[in-house]
Amino acid sequence: MTSAKYDVLGIGNAIFDVLAPTEDDFLIKHGMVKGSMTLIDEPRAAAIYAQMSQAVEMSGGSAANTIVGLANFGARAAYVGKIKDDQIGRLYSHDIRAAQVAFDTKPALGGPASGCTYILVTPDGERTMNTYLGAAQDLGPDDIDPAQIAAASLIYLEGYLWDPKNAKEAFLKASKIAHAAERQVALTLSDPFCVDRYRSEFLELMRTGTVDMIFANESELHSLYQTADFDTALNQLQQDVALGVVTRSEKGCAVVAPDSITLVPASRIDKLVDTTGAGDLFAAGFLFGLVRGTSFEDAGRLGALAAGEVIQHIGARPQVSLKDLAQQNGLPV
């Protein structure tokens, strides 16, 4: 195995985030399932945007948020995601490169506009996402550069990629290249409804070794194994994948290896403002610890620290140096 140019390379839906505070009544009026992610078309996107209150706008996408978090910790990070050569696409590209992330995916010259997600944040900090994939769904195998994939110690894939057919093929191509280069492949399950759609396929990815590592929250884990009993689901996860990481909000996380289960507490916070990006940033901290060779406990603490930072403000990107924050809390960086 050759030395790696990148610590982690993420592949995901390149989505521009539009976030605004709202009340539960707004969700009910528009038929939204609180806390979920729903795919929408362009007219629905325009209708939601027209009725949103004043919004915060920034580049996003689940895997992209994780990769930006990794770069913030000081990791060498790269990202693959499809945008269009339009105003939002150019903003997206500038944002992610400004975060010190290598981003070389060629933008689409035609076709649908760059993707956007309209995120409604209720007073309890819960986020409800309405996503217009746009150009993001046109990510395909041709966007996967074998040399770049092989140059990353770990490939991080988002479950949302399993929706568009071309992105699914890109996902599988990247995994095959990574394993041929003796690299690791991680998958985040993304959303309970995503798991509902592709449960059998996700389990097959795990059981065949197409992915080596799974990130999930408690709801996604219960959906995956169709059980309300956490310990039963956790024990099954232990049998199905080399490494599983399950976040449990204020209960912390469980790191599941074939011969151990490590429980790590959540970080203490002053006020919950917006849960957008909590899982993404947790994954950033955990992966940073993993590629730096820390213990599972320290990796979990780094993840909890990053998640704790991002849920105390609007938006899914850290507003402080996570590297400095880790050092202040006595964690290895």
Instruction: Render pLDDT for 102-161 as a digit per residue (tens, 0 to 9).
Output: 999 999 999 999 999 999 999 999 999 999 999 999 999 999 999 999 999 999 999 988
Instruction: State the Cα angle at 154 between 326 and 159, rounded to 5°.
Output: 95
Listed residue (177, 183, 241) closest to 207, CA to CA: 241
57 exposure class (CB count in 10 Å sphere: 0-12, 13-18, 19+): middle
Phi, psi of 272 (to 5 degrees): -80, 120
What's the half-sphere exposure (Cβ side, CA atoms, 13 Å) at 205?
A: 27
**What residue segments make up the domains of the chain, in order of their start?**
6-14+61-111+137-329
pTM for this predicted structure: 0.93
CATH number of 6-14+61-111+137-329: 3.40.1190.20
Dihedral sign for Cα atoms in the order 313, 318, 323, 324: negative
Instruction: Render pLDDT for 223-276 as a digit per residue (tens, 0 to 9).
Output: 999 999 999 999 999 999 999 999 999 999 999 999 999 999 999 999 999 888
Instruction: State the Cα angle at 130 between 58 and 113, rounded to 5°.
Output: 60
DSSP per-residue letters across 122-136: -TTS-EEEEEE-GGG
